[in-house]
Amino acid sequence: MLTVAVSIAMAMLVAALLLSLWRLLRGPAITDRILALDTLYIDTIALLVLFGIGQDTPLYFEAALLIALMGFISTVALCKYLLRGDIIE
């Protein structure tokens, strides 16, 4: 039951990652690409949590937390660069 659900959810998340990757490559505006990167890291967090459940180990939780921190900071830095032309003024 759980293994089937994990497999189906993993397939759905991979489809979500591919759709975000298509938007990342296609554009058209630079903000679309940043939004696609943002979605990619969110989906990666979900995929890591799912992998942890599938492998029955809480070990991947720390990696998910680190990706959440770094992804938010990178999105803010990219937006700040677009808005002001500089990251730390």
Partner 1 sequence: MIEILVSLFLLIGAGFALIGSLGLARWPDFFMRLHGPTKATTLGVGGMLIASSLHFSHRLDGISLHEVLITLFLFVTAPVSAHLLAKAALHLRVRSVSSLPEATDGTGR
Backbone φ and ψ of 85, nearest 5°: 80, 10
Q: How many residues bind partner 1 (CB under 8 A)?
A: 49
Should residue 28 be labelled a site residue for partner 1 when binding is judged by CB under 8 A? yes
Should residue 82 be labelled a site residue for partner 1 when binding is judged by CB under 8 A? yes
Length of the chain, in residues:
89
HEC secondary structure over 14-62: HHHHHHHHHHHHHCCCHHHHHHHHHHHHHHHHHHHHHHHHHHCCHHHHH
CA distance 54 to 27: 34
Should residue 23 be labelled a site residue for partner 1 when binding is judged by CB under 8 A? yes
CB of 2 to partner 1, least distance (A): 5
Contact positions toward partner 1, by CB under 8 A? 1-2, 4-6, 8-10, 12-13, 15-17, 19-20, 22-23, 28-32, 34-36, 38-39, 42-43, 45-46, 49-50, 52-53, 56, 58, 61, 64-65, 68-69, 72, 75-76, 79-80, 82-83
